[in-house]
Structure 1
Amino acid sequence: MKSVQSYQIFGMATDNPGVVSCRAGPNGEVVTQDLRRSFDSIPTSDEKVRDLFESHLDPLQPPLPNFEKKQQMFNKVRMYVPDEFRSDPIYDAPNDEEEQKANEAKKARRKASAKKKKVATTAAEAKETTSAPAGGEAGEQESEAAGAKHAKQPRKRARKEK
């Protein structure tokens, strides 16, 4: 497709497969581009494209259920959904097995995040110790200053003057 990044709005019609209408904006001029494959400068016919779509494209399978999302939709979103839409299966309560899988996934994600944070902090500490000069008074003074930075300072209250 030529200069695809210059367009913002794209459209296709079922009666003309393989042809895309492009616009730079909502009020922009419509430019049509034919995306059908051409052999020896002869474009593929509409009938052949429709036949290829119908015979060679397998329907997509629905995605695997995300038990965490199902639990979240039931616990946090369903209460805000209007009554006429609450019967939609997306808002159904998760069964015990699904809830257990969702909780296991949450625990695993939290554990991995904690491990990642721990590795990052130990790497930062190791970097600090290797960057400090070895021995000498200057190194001791720097470590004392760093220790003072990390020590919790008591807060002082401002006195009210009468």
Structure 2
Amino acid sequence: MADADETAREGTAVAPPNKPGDRFAQLIRSARKKAGLTQDDLANHTGISRSSIIRWEHSHSNRPDPQGVRVVCSFLGIDPREAAIALGYLSRNEAYSSAPKILDPLAEEVIEILADPNIPDTEKEHWIDYLRFLANKHRPTKAAAMRATNTYGAAEAAKSVESDPR
């Protein structure tokens, strides 16, 4: 339950954010309230001290602990990119840019081959089907796990029957 001090602070009007700490404070506070949590609740669920949460929500922390920010954002369902933007570490363009991902050179080669307009789509589909076949061949399936469990269970049951002196 919220104490009187927290209720009084939360009941006051909040000025529009004009610096990164203010934007982060507003982001955390609004997500917490939307979740119907008090600062104590958030502290108890995340392991972040209530005093840290209070400092964050009132822009009294210029550089909050990154791991603590991750934990709170994850718990409150805040996209971590939004926290980085709110803290001024990234611009919106940087956070949401479609920068190319760095892939393994073999994966890049496969992508190049599949993007080649000189190769017919039907051939590409066959290759993809074959790659899926190979991938699935090496992935354990639920059925295989069940068979292994049943085989092991049956073998253990057979041993216990064999060793039963009755």
TM-score over 0.5 for the alignment? Answer: no
Task: Name the TM-score, length of structure 2 as normaliser.
Answer: 0.30
Task: Name the TM-score, length of structure 1 as normaliser.
Answer: 0.31
Bigger RCO of structures 1 and 2 (CA < 8 A, at least 6 apart): 2
Bigger strand fraction: 1
Bigger helix fraction: 2
